[in-house]
């Protein structure tokens, strides 16, 4: 399997190259050259597998043996998920006519652990084999940063620098990053939004010479490996709910940068009979785009109880436009170049019609989120996080639970409920802050580059 950029210039790269790639050099992002199609017979063979077994089968469609041997891939999966709190890796909580797919049983209590740890182990496998090191740059609005740090901290061949928006993550989300004191980890609290901090990262990746000299790469949801691994939980959710492989299942997905739901879309393209609901909070650029075709950057990010969804641009929509346009790289380049220069663009009606057939939308206000958490608790004695609430309030067959409610005690307690306390989170309350600062008016790009050089100098000692 080879992979190509959505913008058409970078083509036919290997899996190993995508492991270490965020944006392609032409500004696009990677997808496989084709999406494998599964028959009903194929689906029947998969339906009774465990989560790990299912992952082995789904990932083997994209991970060829000459890149990562099958036995090595099995080892990567088991090592990545070996410290999850549940033997099944994920769990399904079922109440009346709704099923809640719990993806948060990893070490940072967020769904991103599922894919991030696989990505970290794949990176380490290739780097150790080639006797190389890399520095990972990550921008986060919530869970991505802590999950990335947890995936690579202490690994001998990987450095990581994480930028988070100061005061805009939940306190626990921030503590999971700022409390880390590892020689291969640097964390910066940035005075700005998650979109503000993405700019110096993209500018840094745009400096081709600096990228090559310092072996920079990304672990954000622009990385194909993360999308690929997220395909698996859609198959698993489907098989847990569908009585047979002719049945269609509706799955509602909390939506930020559209990485998770892109995994669902690829599962659908592979032949899985699912309908997808893109759920947003009050930062509803995705919902508006799907409804109207107008992709317009939000003037201001609204702070909500679901901070990981507080974004002004869902950059994985580029992947979706690419696939829905039958891989029309010229169209994708035109639309995304216009958006990047003007902050807005309009999706052609023929593509929009296809998009509206693939995705339903649902938007939850701040009050909707809080009332949904309260209602689910009162009715089922079950707590959900504010991100999960954006999906549950749509009342779908399946709602994706992206994080543990233990990560958001302030939100839970604000409506008079008692937040669960976990040993790992309790220890963080008194942890020291090791993060550095990027202040308004400073040259963030230069600070970032100096941090890269600092970590690389430690590796060379």
145-181 pLDDT, tens per residue? 999 999 999 899 999 999 999 998 888 889 999 999 9
**Which residues are bridge partners to 359 per DSSP?**
276
Q: Is residue 14 part of a domain?
A: no
Q: What is the pLDDT of residue 48?
A: 96
C-alpha 189/C-alpha 438 separation (Å) is 6
Q: Domain of 346?
A: 91-108+231-419
322-348 pLDDT, tens per residue? 999 999 999 999 999 999 999 999 999
The DSSP H or E segment spanning 320 is helix 317-324
84-133 pLDDT, tens per residue? 999 899 999 999 989 999 999 999 999 999 999 999 999 999 999 999 99
Name the strands in the sheet holding 216-218, side by side, starting at the edge strand that comes first in the sequence: 216-218, 134-139, 158-165, 185-190, 436-438
Q: Is residue 365 part of a domain?
A: yes
Q: Is residue 290 part of a domain?
A: yes
Q: Is residue 143 part of a domain?
A: no
What is the total count of domains within the chain? 1
193-242 pLDDT, tens per residue? 888 998 999 899 889 899 999 999 888 778 999 999 999 999 999 999 99
Q: Does 299 have pLDDT greater than 90?
A: no
Q: What is the pLDDT of residue 461?
A: 46
Q: Does 426 have pLDDT greater than 90?
A: no
Q: Is residue 332 part of a domain?
A: yes
C-alpha 457/C-alpha 200 separation (Å) is 21
Q: Which CATH number do you get for residue 323?
A: 3.40.50.1100
Q: Is residue 190 part of a domain?
A: no
Q: Is residue 318 part of a domain?
A: yes
Q: Is residue 275 part of a domain?
A: yes
| Mean pLDDT, rounded, of the chain | 94
């Amino acid at each position: 399997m080879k992979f190509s950029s959505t913008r058409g210039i970078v083509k036919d790269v290997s899996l190993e190259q995508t492991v270490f790639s965020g944006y392609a050099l032409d500004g696009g992002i990677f997808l496989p050259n084709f999406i494998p199609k599964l028959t009903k017979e194929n689906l029947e063979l998969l339906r009774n597998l465990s989560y790990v077994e299912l992952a082995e089968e789904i990932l083997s469609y994209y991970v060829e043996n000459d890149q990562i041997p099958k036995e090595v891939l099995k080892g990567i999966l088991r090592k990545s998920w070996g410290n999850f709190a549940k033997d099944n890796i994920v769990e399904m909580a079922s109440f009346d006519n709704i099923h809640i797919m719990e993806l948060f049983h990893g070490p940072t209590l967020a769904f991103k652990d599922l894919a991030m740890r696989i990505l970290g182990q794949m990176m380490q496998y290739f780097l150790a084999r080639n006797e190389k090191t890399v520095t990972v740059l990550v921008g986060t609005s919530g869970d991505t940063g802590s999950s990335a740090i947890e995936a690579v901290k202490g690994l001998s061949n990987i450095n990581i620098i994480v930028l988070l928006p100061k005061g805009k993550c939940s306190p626990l989300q921030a503590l999971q990053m700022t409390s880390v004191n590892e020689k291969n980890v640097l964390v910066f609290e940035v005075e700005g939004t998650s979109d503000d901090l993405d700019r110096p990262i993209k500018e840094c990746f745009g400096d081709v010479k600096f990228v090559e000299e310092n072996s920079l790469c990304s672990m954000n949801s622009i990385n194909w490996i993360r999308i690929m691994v997220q395909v698996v939980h859609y198959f698993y959710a489907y098989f847990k709910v569908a009585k047979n492989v002719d049945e269609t299942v509706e799955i509602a997905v909390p939506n930020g940068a559209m990485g998770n739901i892109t995994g669902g879309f690829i599962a659908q393209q592979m032949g899985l009979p699912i309908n997808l609901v893109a759920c947003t909070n009050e930062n509803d650029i995705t919902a508006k785009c799907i409804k109207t075709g107008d992709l317009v950057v939000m003037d201001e990010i609204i702070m909500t109880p679901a901070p990981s969804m507080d974004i002004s641009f869902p950059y994985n929509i580029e992947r979706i436009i690419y696939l829905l346009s039958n891989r029309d790289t010229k169209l994708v380049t035109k639309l995304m170049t216009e958006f990047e220069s003007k902050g807005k663009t309009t999706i052609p009606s023929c593509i929009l019609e296809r998009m509206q057939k693939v995705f339903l939308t649902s938007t939850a206000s701040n009050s909707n989120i809080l009332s949904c958490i309260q209602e689910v608790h009162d009715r089922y004695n079950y707590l959900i996080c504010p991100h999960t609430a954006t999906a549950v309030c749509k009342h779908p067959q399946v709602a994706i639970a992206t994080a543990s409610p233990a990560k958001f005690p302030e939100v839970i307690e604000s409506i008079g409920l008692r937040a669960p306390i976990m040993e790992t989170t309790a220890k963080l309350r008194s942890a020291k802050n090791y993060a550095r600062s990027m202040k308004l008016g400073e040259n963030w790009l230069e600070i970032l580059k100096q941090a890269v050089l600092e970590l690389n100098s430690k590796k060379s000692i």
